[in-house]
């Protein structure tokens, strides 16, 4: 956290002909201003208060996205390290609790259901309505758009068993998850299940763990999960009574 003290120095002494107070903090949250005015506040951040880590991380990421130079003493590497700390403090516990090998199947399923169940229910409702209507039905949904936050994407990826390895990182600006629904209408290839789902994270096709068995995906493409398999797996994460389950 020494970087934060350097980035927001205190005092009214001049440096290079400018006062410290000349540093523009109009777009910086109150907690960051506090560090600039009272350097002793930086010591308080050593305890890694999750809310304050969030403030700094979001501020620095927003500055980079807007093309605003990072404060003196703060590098891109510092921002990434801050993001890693924030991710583990904020989402790390949830991800571990939602991992069957760590918390057990029952607990992991319950955790994932409480975090993402309502959204997944809405998603499956849209996809079901599309599967049940003819391809040329003018009233069928062609495109569904859902808006969320980074705190939505992380749990959603976790629910599908994808928030691991290199993907166990705080979602970047503009991160997105795409669900593509396909219908196989080639007679020679028709099977019992003619609909398939491909999930993409930031444009990259994902291999869903529960779709890798033979018969669970399109022949020759493990990224194309059969809709039956996808629906069965995701339906387990839809809470039948969210309010009651949240009381546990």
Average pLDDT, the chain: 77
**16 vs 40, more confident:** 40
Residue given tokens 């992991």 in the structure block: 108
pLDDT value for 181: 92
**Span of 9-13, 74-78, 83-87, 234-238 with lowest mean pLDDT:** 9-13
List of domains in the chain: 2-72 (no CATH), 98-242 (3.40.50.1240)
Contact (Cβ atoms closer than 8 angstroms) between residue 226 and residue 196: yes
Mean pLDDT over residues 122-139, rounded? Answer: 81
Backbone angles phi, psi at 210, to 5 degrees: -80, 5
Residue 83 has pLDDT above 90, yes or no: no
Q: For the ranges 26-35, 123-132, 194-203, which has the lowest average pLDDT?
A: 26-35
Query: Model's pTM, two decimal places?
Result: 0.72
**3 burial class (0-12, 13-18, 19+ CB within 10 angstroms)?**
buried
34-55 pLDDT per residue, tens: 444 455 545 554 444 556 677 8
């Amino acid at each position: 956290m020494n970087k934060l003290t350097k980035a927001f120095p205190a005092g009214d002494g001049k440096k290079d002909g400018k006062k410290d107070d000349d540093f523009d903090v109009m777009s910086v949250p109150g907690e960051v201003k506090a560090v600039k005015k009272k350097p002793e506040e930086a010591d308080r951040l050593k305890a890694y208060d999750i809310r304050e880590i969030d403030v700094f991380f979001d501020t620095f990421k927003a500055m980079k996205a807007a093309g605003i130079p990072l404060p003196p003493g703060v590098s891109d590497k510092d921002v990434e390290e801050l993001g890693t700390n924030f991710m583990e403090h904020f989402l790390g516990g949830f991800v571990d609790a939602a991992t069957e090998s760590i918390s057990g199947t029952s607990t992991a399923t319950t955790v994932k259901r409480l975090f993402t169940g309502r959204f997944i229910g809405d998603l499956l409702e849209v996809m079901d309505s599309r599967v049940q209507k003819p391809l040329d039905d003018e009233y069928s949904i062609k495109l569904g758009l859902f808006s969320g936050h980074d705190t939505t994407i992380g749990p959603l990826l976790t629910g599908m068993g994808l928030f691991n390895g290199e993907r166990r990182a705080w979602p970047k600006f503009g991160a997105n998850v795409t669900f593509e629904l396909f219908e196989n209408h080639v007679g020679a290839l028709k099977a019992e299940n003619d609909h398939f789902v491909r999930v993409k994270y930031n444009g990259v096709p994902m291999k869903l763990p529960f779709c890798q068995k033979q018969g669970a995906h399109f022949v020759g493409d493990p990224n194309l999960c059969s809709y039956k398999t996808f629906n069965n797996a995701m339906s387990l994460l839809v809470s039948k009574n969210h309010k009651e389950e949240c009381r546990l």
